[in-house]
Amino acid sequence: MYTDIQGLVIGEKKQGENGKLLTVLTPNLGVLKISTKGGTKLTSSLFASSQLFAYSDMTIYQKGNFLTLTEATVKDVFFELNEDLVSLSLACWICEVASSVSVGEGEQGEIFRLLLNSLWYLSKNPDKHTLIKAVFELRVLFLIGFCPELICVNCGAEPKGDVIFDYTSGELFCAECGSKQGERMFLKRDTYLAMKYIAMSPPKRVFMFSVSDDDALTLSRLSERFLINMTGINTTKLDFYKNML
């Protein structure tokens, strides 16, 4: 059976003499393992679509549980990511996150679009990698059901100043009600407002804001700790990214 899909290559592994086994994220079938013949040969019509971060219209053939790529038209390859080790390592990390949270079949459209937008922004704005990382990590968590109440869990009021966030439970406290003890982070109001924007903005506008470098770093630390606590994801690729800084 032949099926037409959109797919983004988020992992690749050599298979046989000149083939590859691709890990492909799709908007409605989750993560697929797809074999491609000739994926390592420059003369192959499937070479470009078989590269890491290649986004393509694909035709796949299914026989039993095995999927094979038969045709592909490349839409984007985000080639700028390969020009900078920090961008490349971060791209690998966010692909790992997307793969981990997009399990099984089902509608993964929002995560798919978020990943594409993140790779595009990262390829065009490598100096903004800290903020892009934070936006991606938080938005993914919000999409899979870990969006915190953006009010103080103790008094029920919307914070008017600084806040305290418990990244093990996703609970938020105003400065008057919260304690800095335990697994909690103090957030300045601008950082809290950035988190609120990431949670509530339309998909096309989620990256259209700015914060100071210090606030971006705080937001990144928060998103990282929150993500790891909520998902238990393997952090090998995250560690590699942080070693590149």
pLDDT tens for each residue of 79-118 = 999 999 999 999 999 999 999 998 655 568 899 999 999 9
- How far apart CA 187 and CA 198 sit, in angstroms, is 15
- How far apart CA 87 and CA 135 sit, in angstroms, is 15
For the ranges 41-45, 187-191, 221-225, which has the lowest average pLDDT?
Answer: 41-45
Q: What confidence category does residue 180 fall into, taking pLDDT thresholds of 50, 70 and 90? A: low
Residue 43 is predicted with a pLDDT of 86
Residue 147 is predicted with a pLDDT of 92
Residue 179 is predicted with a pLDDT of 74
C-alpha distances in angstroms, 29 versus 2, 64, 103, 121? Answer: 14, 16, 9, 25
pTM of the model: 0.94
Neighbouring-strand partners of residue 71: 59
For residue 49, how far is the Cα from the chain centroid? 20
- How far apart CA 101 and CA 70 sit, in angstroms, is 27
Closest to 22 in 3D by CA, of 87, 72, 83, 76: 72
Residue 242 is predicted with a pLDDT of 97
* List of domains in the chain: 2-77 (2.40.50.140), 85-244 (1.20.1440.120)
Q: What confidence category does residue 2 fall into, taking pLDDT thresholds of 50, 70 and 90? A: very high
- How far apart CA 237 and CA 179 sit, in angstroms, is 32
Q: What confidence category does residue 32 fall into, taking pLDDT thresholds of 50, 70 and 90? A: very high
* 90 contact partners, CB below 8 Å, separation of at least 6: 122, 129, 132, 133, 241
Whether 27 and 109 have beta carbons less than 8 Å apart is answered as: yes
- How far apart CA 228 and CA 146 sit, in angstroms, is 12
Residue 107 is predicted with a pLDDT of 62
